[in-house]
Each structure stands twice: as C-alpha cells, then as structure tokens.
C-alpha cells in the first residue's frame, strides 16, 4: 500500500508525469466519445482509434474506395470518426439497394452533416436543395414537380433557350480570342457560361440578364459545393473540433447562400407574375408553376430553383464541359468524328432532335460516364427500420456512400470500362439502356434532369465545333479521370488547368 502511495505521490510531484497522464485520459475520453455504436455487419478496413479511416482515404477517396472494394467486397463498411459508413461500389448492389422496390425506400433519405446543417440553419430554408434534404412528405411533392419540369416532352420547349445560351459560349470564346494574344483559358468562360445556361433554362432569365446577375457575388459560388462536399469536414466526423471557430470557407459559403437566395428570389417573383399573366418565357420554373395543383410557397419554390441551378453554379456543368473540351482539343480523331456528326445532324434540319447514331451525343454520354465529376453521389441515410441484406445487418441511421466512380467502371455493366470509347453508346448493350451511366445517381434520389443536361452539353459542344477546330496549347494533356484530376478531394472533380488554341473554320459563319 505504501508503494502505491509513493507512486501516486511521485506522479503528483512530476509535471511530465501529470502531463502524460492527462494526455492518456484525454485520449481515452476521445476514443470513448467518438466510437460509434451499432456497427453494420460488413467487412472493411480496420481504421485507427478515434479517427477510424479518416486519414486513410488518400487524395482521391472515390478511387481509394474502388480499390478497397477489391479487398473487402463490393459493399463494405468503414469508420470515419464517430460515424459508420457503408460504401456501395458495384452496379448490381447499387441498383438492388438504392433502386429496387424491396430496399429503395430504406435508402431514400439524406444525413445532415454538422457543417451543412449549420449553414442551412443560418441561411434559411430557401438554401435547402432537394439533393441535400432528408426525406419527408414535402420533399416528395417538390421532387414530383421538378421531375415533371425536366421530362423529355416538357424540356423540348426549352430547346431555343438552350441554343441561345450555347451561342453565348461562342461569343465569349470569340471575345477571348480577339482580346488575347493566342491561347485561351476556358475555365472562367465555362463557369460563367454554365451559370448563364442554368439561369435561362431554369429561371427564365434572358441571356443578357443572366450574364450579369451573379457578377457581384461576394465570394466564389463553389463555396456552397465545398460545404456540401461528401468527403466532409473534420468537424462533421470529430465532434470535439466543433468548439473551434468557424472556418473562413464556411463564413464565405454562408454569405454566398444568402446572396444567391436573394438573386433567385427576384427572378422567381417575376416568373410567378408572368406565369399568372400567361406571358412567362419557356423555363423549368414556369413549367412547375403551371403544373402545380396548389400554390407553391416562396421558400419551397426557391428551394426547388436552388436545387436545379446548383449544378451549373457550383461546378458540375462547367467541369463536365471542361473535361469534354480537353478531350476534343487533345484528340484530333475524336474531334473529327464529333464534327462530322454535327454536320450530318445539321443536314437533317432539326439540330436538337438527336438520335442514337450521333457520335457527338455518344461522346456526351461517355464524358458523363468516364469522368463523372460527382464520383461519390450525395450520401444516403437508412430510415424506417434496420435491414438485413445478404445476411449482413445494416442498422437504421447508417450513412451510405454510393461510389458512382466505381459503378461506372463495373465490367459487368460496361465493356472495357477503363477505356474512353463513345462508340459504346452507338452499338451494343450500353446503347440500349435508359440510364446510360450512374453519374446522375441511382434509385429514388437520382437527378431527373439527365436528358436535359445531355442536350445542353451537346448544344455547347456543337456550337463550338461548328465555329472552330481546337488544339491544346499547354497544361493538361492526358485527360485521365484519375491522373488528370485537379483535386480528388473536391466536391466536384475538375481537370487540371489547360489552355486551348482556336482556329476559325469559316470567318463568315462565325456568329
């Protein structure tokens, strides 16, 4: 007993020993407080104490999960801080769990990470997009309206608007080529043009109005996407970090959310008035207002509009355009095939009525599959009940990642999946599928605008190819979805920087 007392006394009198003891107690407390309960019964990486696999994901988590699936199986679990995550990596499991009538309802909600929840709480309900909303009865009604407004039949009426927005891209590139001494940086042009495209097609703004509407944004629009990043922020997984002050990025995202809400509200108020008068221009919001059987509250309408324009304002549309432009400029064979397809389509007299034999339209689909800028679809959360799937227990409230990057490389769905080959969509099993790839998600929470987005991409590439031949001037040349990615940790993956050279095909036809 005396030896124990002496030991305690020595520790009490030693600052170093006290510090070590305190650190050990802190680590034990952190390990206890961050250990999630009710783990899914699936294989997966072991992870470290406290942080789990948070620091094992590498610089490109989607590709890391793809590689882990070859070790642990197509559906595995991992621990990120205080949360268990189930990751789906193959097409069969994704379609069964997320899209089937048997399991789909369990996987139709979204988790609300701490950072995103705090942003939305501060920015108002208007900033809540359909993609990030947990499941409830209101979400179901909003999605129904959004889906109806981008159906192939309805979106046909937007074709003239899409064509005008595509010409804005041409004008922007022409201006840049005249003002500069040669090479063009397409990145700012495409981000600006994608915003114009979405604001005109979705909210009914004129091209001229849309081109200046967001020019005075206090910070880059992609700040909102960075807050929604599925790769998360450390404080989403490690609660003890929430005592720290908000980051500069978060404060900027909050300012952008409030700014964007204000700009959209002014557009939507006008479209609501014009719709009542019967003079609204063709656009998705006007379609929603006409089709709705009851009055839509302002918050709900702004939320739906935020959802539909976010891909063009945050990163998806411009990044997809940039990957495709780079491939066209760096590969003369592909560029010539695409140009020939455009010329053939022009002779048919209906430039937007695109059939399956069109090489450029197949190219658009392959860009979405191969580069897939949303490599990890927005997270799901199981609701309603615990689940047993193939003998594996998945508890209610589990966060689920759908690795669409891996699914788009599933050899059971795509022949030679690691090859960029547009022809797959012109002949063979890939050309016969309703959903050509998984870049728009799977199941009940997938993005319904795939047909409209494909037409928008096609219209922009078509307009560029009709006016110029393209060459890579400097920067990125490989355009591999992994090695050519600027930052695999981003919410939405862009290519590394590059510049292009434009050669006018016919100066008389340049519009």
Return the SS3 of 17.
helix
Here the tokens at position 213 are 């509407």
Annotated binding site: 447
C-alpha pair distances (Å), 58 with each of 53, 85, 488: 10, 16, 9
Burial code of 322-353, b = ≥16 C-beta within 10 A, e = fewer?
Answer: bbbbbbbbbbeebbebbbebbeebeeeeebee
Distance CA 261, CA 350 (A): 37
Which alpha helices (H) appear in 246-376, and where do they start and end? 248-277, 284-291, 298-314, 316-330, 332-347, 359-370
C-alpha pair distances (Å), 55 with each of 59, 184, 226, 231, 374: 10, 38, 19, 11, 21
Return the SS3 of 419.
coil
Here the tokens at position 246 are 């908000």
Label residue 130 left, alpha or beta by phi (over 0 means left) and psi (-120 to 50 means alpha). alpha
187's CB contacts (< 8 A; 6+ apart) are 318, 322, 494, 497
Here the tokens at position 506 are 């016919």
Annotated binding site for heme: 447
Return the SS3 of 147.
helix
Angle of the 159-179 helix axis to the 450-467 helix axis, nearest 10: 40
């Amino acid at each position: 007993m005396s030896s124990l007392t002496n030991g305690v006394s020595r520790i009490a009198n030693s600052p170093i020993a006290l510090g070590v003891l305190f650190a050990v107690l802190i680590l034990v407390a952190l390990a206890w407080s961050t250990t999630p309960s009710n783990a899914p019964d699936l294989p997966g990486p072991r992870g470290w104490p406290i942080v789990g696999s948070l620091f094992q994901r590498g610089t490109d988590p989607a590709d890391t999960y793809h590689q882990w699936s070859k070790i642990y199986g197509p559906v595995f679990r991992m621990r990120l801080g205080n949360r268990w995550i189930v990751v789906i990596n193959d097409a069969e499991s994704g379609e069964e769990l997320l899209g089937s009538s048997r399991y789909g309802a369990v996987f139709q909600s979204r988790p609300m990470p701490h950072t995103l929840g705090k942003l939305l709480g501060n920015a108002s309900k208007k900033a809540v997009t359909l993609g990030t909303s947990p499941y409830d009865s209101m979400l179901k009604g909003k999605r129904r309206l959004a889906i109806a407004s981008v159906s192939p039949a309805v979106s046909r009426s937007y074709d003239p608007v899409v064509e005008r927005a595509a010409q804005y891209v041409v004008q922007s590139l022409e201006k840049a080529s005249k003002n500069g001494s040669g090479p063009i940086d397409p990145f700012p042009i495409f981000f600006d043009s994608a915003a114009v495209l979405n604001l005109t097609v979705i909210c009914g703004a004129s091209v001229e109005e849309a081109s200046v509407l967001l020019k005075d944004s206090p910070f880059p629009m992609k700040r909102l996407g960075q807050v929604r990043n599925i790769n998360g922020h450390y404080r989403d997984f490690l609660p003890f970090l929430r005592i720290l002050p908000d980051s500069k990025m978060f404060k900027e995202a909050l300012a952008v959310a409030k700014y964007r809400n204000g700009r959209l509200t002014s557009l939507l108020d006008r479209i609501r008035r014009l719709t009542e008068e019967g003079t609204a221009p063709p656009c998705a919001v006007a379609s929603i207002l006409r089709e709705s059987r009851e009055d839509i509250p302002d918050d709900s309408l702004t939320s739906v509009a935020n959802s539909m324009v976010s891909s063009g304002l945050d990163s998806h549309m411009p990044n997809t355009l940039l990957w495709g432009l780079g491939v066209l400029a760096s590969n003369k064979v592909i560029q010539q095939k695409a140009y020939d397809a455009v010329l053939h389509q022009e002779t048919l007299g209906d430039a937007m009525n695109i059939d399956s034999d069109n090489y450029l339209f197949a190219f658009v689909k392959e860009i979405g599959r191969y580069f897939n800028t949303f490599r990890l679809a927005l997270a799901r959360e199981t609701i309603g009940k615990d689940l047993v799937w193939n003998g594996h227990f998945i508890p209610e409230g589990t966060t689920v990642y759908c690795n669409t990057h891996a699914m788009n490389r599933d050899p059971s769905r795509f022949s030679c999946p690691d090859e960029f080959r547009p022809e797959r969509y012109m002949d063979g099993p890939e050309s016969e599928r309703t959903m050509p790839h998984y870049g728009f998600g799977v199941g009940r929470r997938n993005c319904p605008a795939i047909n409209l987005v494909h037409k928008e991409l096609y219209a922009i590439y078509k307009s560029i190819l009709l006016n110029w031949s393209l060459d890579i001037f400097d920067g990125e040349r490989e355009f591999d979805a992994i090695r050519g990615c600027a930052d695999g940790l981003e919410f939405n993956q862009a290519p590394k920087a590059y510049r292009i050279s434009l050669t006018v095909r016919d100066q008389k036809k340049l519009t």
